[in-house]
Amino acid sequence: MDNLREMLLSIVNNMAKETYRSIVLDILNNPTLTFTSAKPLIQLGESPAAPRKHHFFSGGLLLHTLSVALIARSIAKIFENLYGVDVDEDLVVSAAILHDIFKYYQYAVDDASGGYKPRDDWYLSHDYAIVAELSRRNAPDALIRVVSEAHGIAPFSTIEGLIVHLADSIDARFGEYLQNILLSKLKEIEKEGCNIYKILNELIKRYGLRNVVQEAQKSGLTQKAIAICKEGADK
């Protein structure tokens, strides 16, 4: 998933405002919580966005993050052009990239059922974690506010907060819809004793989500899934 990180960095490096660019780069280059001694059990690049609900696969968090940033930027441009409102696009993109960044602290590998699961020993949800970390790193108050609004911690008082919230919801809903379609196409291989969550995760790791979706549309997904199952990669 290095290409996803590079795409995110490219977006950030093209920001006009140094105040936002610097804090986002700081966190992307050092995505650790500095206010606690607790350590993550998985890496950011391998983390799902959620264990089952959406983007459950390895790398799902970065893919969701990139998509939310692109959707949020597009919404901002539409609102500016059609409604004549002023939107700080750098603020929107910064909050979109950072809103879920510390979710990976919440998860651990789930060897039994495949994919990932919530950690038993973790105590802080990602929405509060990012607010605390932004405060610790002296981020601009406007960014802290928008991230809080995007998660519903604070009521909407900015257009930017609403835009990030909408973008997050759109991509989460679409991610859930898409993976449910893929899982349904793999249901028939369960009779072979295959774990479809592990199989789909392995398919995405090997071929990328885009290629997996295209294979599903051409009805070529099942054969690849069966081959992985026979390798024992889902065990």
Within-domain flag for 56: yes
In a domain, 39, yes or no: yes
Mean residue pLDDT of the chain comes to 90
Q: Nearest 5°: phi and psi at 108?
A: -140, 160
**Does residue 102 lie in a domain region?**
yes
Answer whether residue 229 shows pLDDT above 80: yes
Would you say residue 35 lies in a domain? yes
**Residue 235 counted as domain residue:** no
Q: CATH number for the domain including 134? A: 1.10.3210
Q: Is 107 within a domain?
A: yes
- Give domain status of residue 163, yes or no: yes
pLDDT digits (tens, 9 = 90+) for 29-76: 999 999 998 899 999 999 998 887 888 888 999 999 999 999 999 999
Better-scored residue on pLDDT, 99 or 187: 99
The total number of structural domains that make up the chain? 1
Average pLDDT over residues 112-138: 89
Residue 220 pLDDT > 80, yes or no? no
Mapped onto helix, strand or coil, the DSSP state of residue 116 is strand
* Residue 99 clears pLDDT 80, i.e. is over it: yes
- The CA-based angle 122-39-47, given to 5 degrees, is 75
**Which residue range is the domain that position 92 belongs to?**
2-185
β-strand partners of 117: 108
**The predicted structure's pLDDT at residue 234:** 52
The answer to whether residue 79 sits within a structural domain is: yes
**pLDDT tens sequence across 129-180:** 999 999 999 999 999 999 999 988 888 999 999 999 999 999 999 999 999 9
pLDDT attached to residue 71: 98
d(CA 169, CA 186): 26
